[in-house]
Structure formats: C-alpha cells, structure tokens
Structure 1
Amino acid sequence: MARRRLNSSNAPEAELPKAKLNRQTLHKISRLLAYIKPYRARFIAGLVFLFLSSLVGLAFPAFIGGLIDTAKGAHTNPWLPGTIKGILELAFGVLFVQAFVSFFRILWFVNVAERSLADIRRDTYFKLITLPMNFFSNRRVGELNSRISADLSQIQDTLTTTIAEMIRQSVLLIGGIAAMAIISVKLAIALLVLLPPLIVFAIFFGKFIRKLSRQAQDKLAESNTIVEETLQGIANVKAFVNEAFEAGRYGKNIRDVADIAIKGAKYRGIFVSFIVFCLFGAVVAIVGYGCILVSHHELEVGQLFTFALYATYVGSAMGSFPDLYANVQKAVGASERVLEILDEKGEDVSINDKDNVIQQKIKGNLSFTNVEFAYPSRPELTVLNDISFDADAGLRVAIVGPSGSGKSTMAALILQFYHPENGTISFDGRPASDYSLTDIRNQVAIVPQDVLLFGGTIKENIAYGKLIATEDEIIQAAQRANAHAFIMSFPEGYDTVVGERGVKLSGGQRQRIAIARALLKNPAILILDEATSSLDSESERLVQEALEELMKNRTSIIIAHRLSTIREADKIIVLEKGKIVESGSHQELLANEQGLYRYLSALQFEVN
C-alpha cells in the first residue's frame, strides 16, 4: 500500500513565523498600531495605570522587610512608619490602590485590544473577499483562514498581554535592581554577577528540551494519522490483507515516539539537576553572603528578606524576557502576513449593501471582440485566442468543445473575474470597463455544475440572489424553479437547514435552489455552466424545466458537454484549443461533415 502523507489537520499547529525586529519591520507594523488611534485615550490611561501598578508592586518587599525589622525593634526604612500597625495600614492602603489600578488597567487594555483587533479582522476579511480571483488561485484556503485566525490571535495576545507584561517586567527589573542596590551594593553586585549567566544557560537549555518535545508531538500526530486513516479505510486494509503491514507501520512509529520521549526525559533530568544545583546554589550562596553581612551588622534580617524578594523579582523578569521577545517577534511576523493582504489591490466593489444598487442597466447584448487571455498564474499558456462573437439580448448562445478548450474561462471573463489581455468584452455595445463591477455582477447570474449552498436555511440560500426579497418573492422563485414541492416535503419547509455546502440535499435539489436564486436575482445575462451534466434522468428533467423558465426573455450563455441540451440554442459556438472553429445553429453545424461539432455529436448520438 502506498505510504500516505501526514494529515496536516492532525499535526500540531505549526509555529507562527518570527521576524527580526528592526526599523523596517517596526515601520511596517506601525500601520496596524494606527488601529489603536480611535481608542488612544483608554490605551494611554491603561499604560499609565500599568506603570503605576508595577511601581506599587515594588513596595511590598519593603513592607515585608519593614515588618520583620520593626518586630525586632529596628527601624531601617525611613520611608515607612515606625510601628507594625502603621506599616500594615499603609500596606493595605497601597494594596487597595493596586487592586483599583490593576482592574482598570486590565479592563482598558483588553477593551482597546479587542476593539482594534475587531477593526483589523473586519478590514482583513473585507479585503480578502474583494480580492481578484487570481489571488485565490495561488493560495490555499487554509492559509488564508490562518491569517484571520492564528495570525490575528497572535497580534491580539501581544496587544492584550505581551506588551503589558514587557512594560511590567521592565519596571520590576529596573526597580528591583535599584532597590537591591539601595539595600546592599555588595549583595547586588554578587547577585548580578552570578544570576544572569545561569538564567541565559537555563533559557537555551529549555529551548532545546522544547524542541525535543515538539519532535515527539509530531511523531505522535503521525501515529494518530495512521490509526485514523487505517480505520477509515479498513475495508481496503482487509481487502489487500495488509493488517500486518499497518500494525508494523504503527508499531515503528510508536517506538520512535518512545525513543524521542526517553531522550527528552534524559535531558530534562539534566536540566532539573542544573536548576537544583546551580540556580538554587546561587540563591543559597547569596543568602549565605547576606547572613555574613547580617552577622557583621552591615544588614538587618528584614533587609536581607527584602533583598531576597527583590532578587526573585529580578530573576523572574530576566527569565521572562526571552519568551516575551519571542512573542513580539511572532506578532511582527503575523503582522507582516496580515499586511500582505491589506496591501493587495482589491476589486472596486461596494462595501455597503445600500450602495449595492444598479446604476447602469444592461439590456443583455454581449459581445467578445478579438479577446485573448492567459491566466496570470500561467502567462505562458494562452487559454483563449482571438475570440469574437455576438450574443444579442434574449438569445440563447451555446458554447461547446472538448475539455480544456476554454469554455468555463469565457464564463469567468463575462463575470469579470478576470480581464482579457487583448480585445474587448462589451455589454450593450459599451466596453465592460465603462461599467462598475457591482453593476455587471448584479446583472449576470451563473448556475454552475457544482452548486455551493451556504450552511443556513433553504430560504436564506434562495434569498442570496436578492437579500431584500420578501417571503412571497422567495416562494414564487422556488415555484418557478420546480423546487417548491420538495421544499414543502421537509418538516421545516423553507426553514430547513441544508448543512455544510448543502450536503443534506441531492444534486438535483441543490441545482433547483440555485435556479431559484438566479430567478430571484432576475439577471439580464444568464450563464449555465454544465448545469445538468451530473444529474440522473428524472432530476435532469425537473432541472431542465426550471432552466427553461429561467432562460425566458434573457440572454443565456449555455456551456455544455451534453449536446442534447443545446439543440434549441439560437447559436452554437464550437471551441477547440482556445479558438472558435465553428459557429451556427445545430442543423448548420451538423451539415458540416468535417466539422468538430458533427464529430462530437457522432460520439454522443452515433449520428452518421
């Protein structure tokens, strides 16, 4: 059995990209910080309160030390009252101030972050859905979804937590070192000589252990994928008698997981031993040195205890900066990925539903004049070459030809998903560029072969063709599309939820919902792209009747493989390798014995 690739949905989430912090990257992300501007008053207030709460936090080791020294009868801190009661009253007063300040600091920071992120999400989403089709042809949906979810979540975490924590830890680090120096310069120098190298070593060793943990997670995810795929394809496994192969594959993977985990445990043991001996040894050494100073009456016991608490603040702050810095790097990388989308040139479509009103009416005349086109992702391959034809208002024009001849590309050009490299597409004798995209797409409808329904109700899916449609208009459109009967057969009727992509409906039912949607839109030009090719005979009959109703009194461009569906077309255009090789009515094209249409017809109908 062929070896299968790891299913990315089961793998641990890939780490977000990191970016170097320099003037260029900081200038880029400053554009995202502009989203904070409408909420700058609260943001500044939050920063002030954050600074105040951090400063107030530095007072508590002094209170603890002061209480100890006062209990012994010594008064070492001139900034504190001389009694235990006075120190306690001041400490609880400061505690109340810190609680008050901390509440509003957190509230305002989160408020600013959530509102500004909501604005960024809104603008990013709108930019995404207004980008040209070529953008989506070069990217995966999962990647784009990650920009909205993972990238913006990383920015959100940075705005709500990381920036605040960096400021707080900076205050604690600087304030803690200053306080230690005030208490004892000798102890402060000793601590700053011993502690930083040990913390740096511990940080790099910790990163190495986390890397081993990620390797174990990757292997475990791979083994879970083997289980999932094997159980999903259990019939194939049994049919090919590959139980032993799958068991061996899974066993090897599990052994790899165990080996990596054991290796990780060995290094974690070394790490713990290092922490116990070196870091705690350094703390014991500093405290021992402090005790010597106490015995020489250079320091009081309360001052030593205060120093130890400040040392904890400083050590914790030093240890937190690498992770905080890494989070900022991730946020900068995520910001660059989001800005890539915001910097893309989008289509000129309306952002407001109220502006989504037709300004220039199209009667239905359509013409291609010397149109040439190649997809931007494949510029070397010309898909359409010198295409010219006219479709007068109200006529039915069929486009036929072998697969890959450019039929669906012509539909995409009519909808202005892409624009021709040369030549002109005109509506009512005017170039498409004279119309807004909103006007063209409001007056052109497409019924594709593979209908996509949204996960809401039948009523909502039909109303997608006209968002302000009344219930009567929706029902009338469904009746004309031969859909009303099957809709009413459901217990919930028009409020039936169709499921993701319409999975609860059959292919014919989805097609008739799409036809009802198009009828409600009432377009001047209709495109039918293989609308009945994947249906059974009964469904095709019902859908064909609905299509006949839909095509009445409007220009219809019918793309078809089944030639039986286009015999009644007013004009048939035959494409081959991106060129028009024939055009005419069904009978005219059949009369050409050397024609491609007659050949295709002979393959399908065995016509001599």
Structure 2
Amino acid sequence: MPKHAFPQGLLATIHAAQRSTPTLPAMAQKDNDRPAAKTPRSLSGLRPFLRPYRLQITLAGLFLVLAAVSTLAFPVALKSLIDQGVVAADPAERVMALRGHFLALFGVGAALGLFSALRFYMVSWLGERVTADLRNAVYGHVVQQSPEFFESNASGEVLSRLTTDTTLVQTVVGSSLSMGLRNVVMGTGAMAMLIVTNPVVMTQVLGILVLVVLPSLYFGRRVRKLSRASQDRVADSSAIAAEVLNAIPVVQSYVQERREAQRFNSSTEAAFETARKRTKVRALLVGFIITATFGALLWGLYQGTQAVAAGTITAGHLGQTVVFVIILVSSVAVLSEVYGDLLRAAGATERLMELLDARSPVAEPTAPLALPHRPAGAAVAFQDVGFHYPSRPRLPALQGFSLQVAPGETVAIVGPSGAGKSTVFQLLLRFYDVGSGAITLDGVDIRQASLADLRQRVGIVPQDSTVFSTTALENIRYGRPEATEAEVIAAAQAAFAHDFITALPEGYDTYLGERGVRLSGGQRQRISIARAMLKNPPLLLLDEATSALDAESERMVQAALERAMAGRTTLVIAHRLATVQRADRIVVMEAGRIVDIGTHDALVARGGLYARLAAMQFGLDDREAA
C-alpha cells in the first residue's frame, strides 16, 4: 500500500463492525427525530480509521508525554534557580549558580520546543490523514447506494457531512484531542507534585476545581445539543444551495433569483441563530472557567505567600507551587474547552457514521451466479413483475408486467407519461429490486448476479444525457476507461460526434464545463451515445435517445444507433416513430401494465391506445413537414 493510500479493507472492517446497524433514517427529518451524541464516546466510530496508523499514534503519544514532562520540569528548575541562585549567600557563587540554572532552564525550554514541534507535526499529520480516509470512505460508500437513498436524502446534506463534519473531526484528531491528552498529563503531573510538595494548598485547590468542573459539565451538555443543531442548520443551507446551483437556468428563466436568495438567507439566518445560542452558552462557560481558575490561582498564591512569611517554605518552593497551580488550573480550563470540541466532533462523527451505516436495499448476493456469455445479444425476461417506488408506496409503478425479449431483438416501449416505461429500465439495471415477480438476464435472476457483472452487460443512453466536468475524450472513455484514444475516436465517429468535437478549440482535449454547459443538447446526447457504443454491451437501453436532436442530427444518430443495435438486444423508449416503426415488436404500456404488443402496422390496425398515440404523432409530423 502506498504511504498515503486509502487503507485497503478499511470499509470492509467498518461494515463488519456495523453489520447489525439499522438502515440510515432520512437525513431530512426534524432535529428531534435525530439521535444526538450524548458523550464523546461517539468518537469511538473513528477507531477503524485510526487503527492503520498505530505507529504514528504511538510516536505522537511519546512526543506528547515528553513535551508534558518538559513543562512539568520547568517549576522544579525554577525552584532551584530561586533557592540556589537568586538567594545564594556568596555573590561569586551566585553568578556561577545563576548561569548554570539559566542554562538548565534553557535546556528545558529547548526540549519543550523540540518535543512540541514533533508532537504538532505527528498529530497534524494524523488529523489530515484520518480525515482524508474518512471522506474517502463516506464518499465511496454513498456512491454505492441505490437511488432509493437519494429519494429521501438531499445531496447537499451529504456534501455538508463530507465537508463541515469531517472538518470538525479533523480539528479534534489533529489538534483538540492532542491538546486534551497533553493537558491531562500536565494536570495529573502538577497535581501529583502539589500533593507531594504542598498537600495543604493542593487540598484547597482541588475543592475549588470541583466547583469549576460540575457547572462545566452542565454547560457542556447544552453546548453539545446546540452544536448538533447548528451542524444540521448548516447542512440545510448546503442542501438548498446545491439544489439551486444545479438548476440555475430554470431559476433564472422563471425570474426566481430573489426568492431563492431569500430562501437561502432564511436558512443561513436559522443557522446563525442556532450558532449564536451555542456561542452564548459557550461564552458563559469560558467566562466562568476563567474566573474560577483565576480565583483558584490567587488563592494558592495567597496561601503560599502566607507560608513564606511564616518561614514554613522557601521562596523557591513558593515559586514552584505557584507554577504548578498555574499548570493545574490552566489544564482544567483547557480540558473544559476541549470537552466542548469533543462533543461537537462526537456529533459530527455520529452524522458521518450514519452515512457509513446506511445499507442499500439493493444488496450484492452472497454467492453471485455468473452470467453466461452469448455470441450475440442477451435474453431478457420479466416475469409478472410488480413494483412500487419507496417514496410512493401506495402508487404501483408496475403491475403484472411480463415480457420476453429474445437475443438480438429490438423492442420498443411506448405509452403516455407515467406509464412505467423508465421504471422498466431502472429495474433491469437493478437500481431497485422488484416488489414481486422476477427479472432474468440470460436465464439468471438479476438478483443472483453481481451488480458489476449485470451492469457491465448493459449500456444505456438516457433521456437527460450526463456530461462530466472533464474533456470530451474522457467523457466518452467513461464507457470503457481502458479504451485507447483510437477506440474513443471510432465510437465518436459512429455516433456522429467526431466532427463537432474536432471543431472545438482543443478537439478531444477540450474541457466541456460543468454538466457540459459548453455543448448543445444534441451534442451532449451524441457524447452519451458514443459512450454507450464504446462500452459495447450485449444489451442496449435507449431512453428517448434522440429526443434532444434536431431532424438532421436525428437522422444521423438514428443511423448510428441502427449500427449499434446490430447483433444486440435493444429496448427502446421512444415517442418518435422513426425508431418505433423499425422495432421488431412494440410494447404499449398504460398505468404500469402492458395493454398491447405487436408491430406498428398491426397495432395501428387494431386501434386502441397505440393508434391514438400514433395519430397524434403523425399529426405533429405533418405540421412539422408543413
């Protein structure tokens, strides 16, 4: 494994540890329905991400202890300086003693600086590394979720968890946790030294610290709750922004910029108000801790000066005691602050673990069956399929759907909007599992085949073509990443995309912009068709593949599609009759059911739904021709 590579098997380890965890609840639900981190123990979810870096954690712990010990050595060196150097009787001895003690103090400071620098580097490295691994794990897990996951969870919410929440985790792992452990060591050491050197003062200081810690715990719980709510409100803003930025043309064409800006403003104001409440409570906590610890320090100093005046301790002893008290109370103050950070990070970790705990209802089979290889095309069978979308459980998308498609056959599926045509494709790709019945590919139930094997056999040209923010070459190569440049160009030529691509400023190396904004709708569609051709699958799904093309482009692409369909099984969703008339069979759907099957001429002759659709289509074509 490369030094900074994502740890192999990490997701498997996480999944094994969380196998019994229930499916993630919808992230859009209200705050009072969402579990909150009650203690920093929620951070235990980070263990699988920390485990690969035991050596680095050990080194960080070693440097942390050495830095703390160096800090604790300072009061001892200061006592020796005062008692053996400053108040030495012989002036000549005093000068020599001062030199030696100041060199000793410098040595303590140099050691503190060295070990602190090493500690800072190691914990910062750990913070960055663990955060990167966590982001990779969450993102890699989310992209494997079925579309059902994204029906109930906004992409902006997921992005917020990948950015804001992981940043909180990075702050804790790379800073706060180390600071907390360092102050635990220093505070414990200072307490032990005070017990040994001045037990009377230590008893009184401990009593004051108890009065500091108890209210801190109360305020800390309130900070935790408000922190989780604040993170949720920020996620809401991110969800709104992601949704609107992906639909800018629609927003602007309906002149809704001001309304969307106001909606985002309302969301950010809600986030600000929650953050203000959290900051107010935390400010009260900080003010209380500073006041109480300062009082504890002054009380210890007062007691020490009384002891020096009474002659029971030396001035050096007083100086040592004062510094140890400072270390102790400052450690408690820092730990109270760190505790608040830990609670915030615990909430963020919970939110990230919710994503990692999510289980797609479309699961890989435990013992997948291999799909047989056919010389040409693929055999597809729908056997009494029934299906409801999870978000619409009472509205059937398919009912009693049965269809046999022979290898190499071209079958067109037509029907009004909402008839269930696209649902057929989504079930065939196993984006969802059927509610009843079965779908087989080459005689194998697709639920028994691996998802990768199934989807490698299927190529799809969707109605809304997707173009990624990269070059034209890489967009087409997405269909088969290992393809050579010559193979990509051949696919583009077959899809009649080569000419317009070579006309771009940098040809195939031209960056196409986010979502292909630099291309027309027809050009984006031809990129999508070239991508499917390059994949060269035995089963081709065309979902309104020519809907975005003008008449001339449609003729060219139709010719390309006919070449692509040769020797393959093809399912076509189309309203235009150019593709439908050439199909071996036409399946007519309505309300999730098959209402008729036949050739174009036979269906027109029989009348019914297809005849009405055809009449409407011909009427449209006549008007266009006129």
- What TM-score, normalized by structure 2, do the two folds share? 0.76
Instruction: Return the match for 2:509 from 495, 501, 513.
Output: 495
For 1:275 and 1:45, locate their aligned partners in 2 and report how far apart those are by CA, in whole Å: 32
Tell me if 1:156 matches 2:165: no
Deviates more, 1:62-71 or 1:506-515: 62-71
Structure 2 counterpart of 1:66, one-letter code: S
Displacement of 1:35: 3.6
Tell me if 1:597 matches 2:615: no
For 2:372 and 2:223, locate their aligned partners in 1 and report how far apart those are by CA, in whole Å: 64
Where does residue 459 of structure 2 map in the other structure? Answer: 445
Deviations 1:337-373 (A, max 9, x none): 33334344456779xxxxxx99745732222121112
Pair 1:47–1:17, CA change in 2 (3 A) = farther
Query: What secondary structure sits across from 1:405 in the alignment?
Result: coil
Pair 1:375–1:238, CA change in 2 (3 A) = closer
Where does residue 384 of structure 1 map in the other structure? Answer: 398
Query: What secondary structure sits across from 2:66 in the alignment?
Result: helix
Where does residue 108 of structure 2 map in the other structure? Answer: 94
Deviations 1:146-171 (A, max 9, x none): 34333333333333323322221111
Q: How does 1:76-91 map to 2 (within 5 A)?
A: 83-91=97-105
Structure 2 counterpart of 1:180, one-letter code: L
For 2:319 and 2:372, locate their aligned partners in 1 and report how far apart those are by CA, in whole Å: 78
Where does residue 167 of structure 1 map in the other structure? Answer: 181
1:130–1:349 contact (8 Å) kept in structure 2: no
Tell me if 1:61 matches 2:79: no
Where does residue 422 of structure 1 map in the other structure? Answer: 436
Gaps of 5+ in 1: 1-15, 76-80, 351-356
Tell me if 1:372 matches 2:386: yes
Deviates more, 1:362-371 or 1:466-475: 362-371
Deviates more, 1:420-429 or 1:511-520: 420-429
Query: What secondary structure sits across from 2:570 in the alignment?
Result: strand
Deviations 1:550-605 (A, max 9, x none): 32332221112344542222211111111101111111111123x11112223333
Deviates more, 1:555-564 or 1:532-541: 532-541
Structure 1 counterpart of 2:613, one-letter code: L
Tell me if 1:587 matches 2:605: no
For 2:188 and 2:563, locate their aligned partners in 1 and report how far apart those are by CA, in whole Å: 78
Tell me if 1:19 matches 2:32: no
Tell me if 1:571 matches 2:589: no
Tell me if 1:328 matches 2:328: no
Instruction: Return the match for 2:119 from 92, 102, 105.
Output: 105
For 1:194 and 1:443, locate their aligned partners in 2 and report how far apart those are by CA, in whole Å: 72
For 2:490 and 2:569, locate their aligned partners in 1 and report how far apart those are by CA, in whole Å: 21
Displacement of 1:385: 0.9
Pair 1:208–1:158, CA change in 2 (3 A) = closer
Where does residue 340 of structure 1 map in the other structure? Answer: 354
Q: How does 1:247-286 map to 2 (within 5 A)?
A: 283-286=297-300
Deviations 1:418-455 (A, max 9, x none): 22222222223443345332222112111111111111
1:113–1:159 contact (8 Å) kept in structure 2: yes
RMSD over aligned CA atoms reads 4.4
For 1:74 and 1:358, locate their aligned partners in 2 and report how far apart those are by CA, in whole Å: 92
Structure 2 counterpart of 1:306, one-letter code: Q
Q: How many residues align?
A: 556
For 1:431 and 1:183, locate their aligned partners in 2 and report how far apart those are by CA, in whole Å: 78
Tell me if 1:394 matches 2:412: no
Displacement of 1:134: 2.1
Deviations 1:21-53 (A, max 9, x none): 38xx56xx6564134333323322322332222
Instruction: Return the match for 1:548 from 562, 568, 588.
Output: 562
For 2:306 and 2:465, locate their aligned partners in 1 and report how far apart those are by CA, in whole Å: 83
Structure 2 counterpart of 1:70, one-letter code: Q
Pair 1:208–1:376, CA change in 2 (3 A) = closer
Where does residue 529 of structure 1 map in the other structure? Answer: 543
For 1:288 and 1:396, locate their aligned partners in 2 and report how far apart those are by CA, in whole Å: 94
Tell me if 1:180 matches 2:194: yes
Gaps of 5+ in 2: 1-33, 90-94
Displacement of 1:501: 1.3
For 2:358 and 2:291, locate their aligned partners in 1 and report how far apart those are by CA, in whole Å: 55
Displacement of 1:133: 2.8
For 2:454 and 2:406, locate their aligned partners in 1 and report how far apart those are by CA, in whole Å: 16
Query: What secondary structure sits across from 2:597 in the alignment?
Result: strand
Displacement of 1:272: 10
Displacement of 1:317: 1.6
Structure 2 counterpart of 1:301, one-letter code: A
1:530–1:560 contact (8 Å) kept in structure 2: yes
Query: What secondary structure sits across from 2:396 in the alignment?
Result: coil
For 1:455 and 1:534, locate their aligned partners in 2 and report how far apart those are by CA, in whole Å: 20
For 1:197 and 1:536, locate their aligned partners in 2 and report how far apart those are by CA, in whole Å: 78
Structure 2 counterpart of 1:599, one-letter code: R
For 2:148 and 2:321, locate their aligned partners in 1 and report how far apart those are by CA, in whole Å: 63
Structure 2 counterpart of 1:363, one-letter code: G
Structure 1 counterpart of 2:516, one-letter code: G
Tell me if 1:476 matches 2:490: yes
Deviates more, 1:361-370 or 1:279-288: 279-288
Q: How does 1:34-53 map to 2 (within 5 A)?
A: 34-53=48-67
Structure 2 counterpart of 1:59, one-letter code: A
Deviates more, 1:305-314 or 1:340-349: 340-349
Deviates more, 1:157-166 or 1:50-59: 157-166
Query: What secondary structure sits across from 1:102 in the alignment?
Result: helix
Tell me if 1:407 matches 2:425: no
Structure 1 counterpart of 2:614, one-letter code: S
Query: What secondary structure sits across from 2:440 in the alignment?
Result: strand
